[in-house]
Amino acid sequence: MTYDLLIGDRSYSSWSLRGWLLFAKFNVDVTVHDTRFYIPQFQEDLKPFTPARTVPVMRLPEGGVVMDSLGMAETLAERHPDKGYWPENTEARALARGMVAEMHSGYGALRSACPMNLRQSFLDFPVSEEVAADLARIEQLWAAARNLATDGPWLFGQYSIADAFFAPVAARMAGYGLPISEASKPYVVETISDPVFLEWRRRGLQDAPQSNYDLPYAAGKWPGPD
């Protein structure tokens, strides 16, 4: 028996990307079910995962539904302590949990202004003071994480839940050409070049685009590898 995971549009659903990475990057068996936003079938697809009202959502092998990517992350870490979901070091693990919680509830300006879009980039995007403040806070946390990192290219060295949660942020930084420091750029490149991330993006490109995510800016080619 494996887990069941319901996700939304791969090109646009940042929360679904997080949920999927929690399985794909940690080699946990899962059956993935796809749905799409803004279609009547969406509510039908959710019914087997009641009481969830949005995606991502997972069903445990033995039954029981876990809603929300943060609930999923903690559940999987609890059930698979050998997979390394959180950093081993106590100080790093504490920071990682705080960063994930802040990602889950914060950065409203960045999220609102820059919806995730893995199909293209946006040129000459105007960065507001509020978005710049979100970026500065994220970079502050990334720097703190790297100060505690072991060997490896991820926030705490080895891939953790924190990287799954900040993957859509890195994608936004790349796709909107957001101003970030030279110190942060390698992590963004690492994220959007990761083979597992590329697998997700390629699958999303097979779906029709959603006009709801069109923005009034000149569009360019996606900046990462195909």
* pLDDT per position as a tens digit, 104-148: 999 999 999 999 999 999 999 999 999 999 999 999 999 999 999
DSSP string, 180-196: --TTTHHHHHHHHH-HH
pLDDT in tens, 48-66: 999 999 999 999 999 999 9
What confidence tier does 207 reach under pLDDT thresholds 50, 70, 90? very high
Read off the amino acid at residue 158: Q
Nearest by Cα to 86 from 29, 15, 171, 150: 150
Other C-beta atoms lying within 10 Å of the C-beta of residue 31: 13
Instruction: Pinpoint the residues of the chain covered by CATH 1.20.1050.10.
Output: 90-213
How far is 206 from 199, CA to CA, in rounded Å?
Answer: 11
Torsion of CA 12, 18, 20, 26, to 10 degrees: 150
- Two tokens, residue 41: 């079938």
Task: Work out the percent of the chain whose per-residue pLDDT is above 70.
Answer: 100
Tell the CATH topology of 90-213: Glutathione S-transferase Yfyf (Class Pi); Chain A, domain 2 (1.20.1050)
How far is 84 from 161, CA to CA, in rounded Å?
Answer: 9
Instruction: Pinpoint the residues of the chain covered by CATH 3.40.30.10.
Output: 3-83
Give yes or no for residue 1 having a pLDDT over 90.
Answer: no
Nearest by Cα to 58 from 30, 80, 38: 30
pLDDT of residue 34: 96
- Two tokens, residue 43: 């509510």
Q: pTM of the prediction? A: 0.97
Average per-residue pLDDT in the chain? 96
pLDDT of residue 60: 98
CATH ID of 3-83, from 3.40.50.970, 3.40.30.10, 3.60.15.10, 3.30.70.2740: 3.40.30.10
| Burial degree of 6 (CB within 10 A; 0-12, 13-18, 19+) | buried
What confidence tier does 212 reach under pLDDT thresholds 50, 70, 90? confident
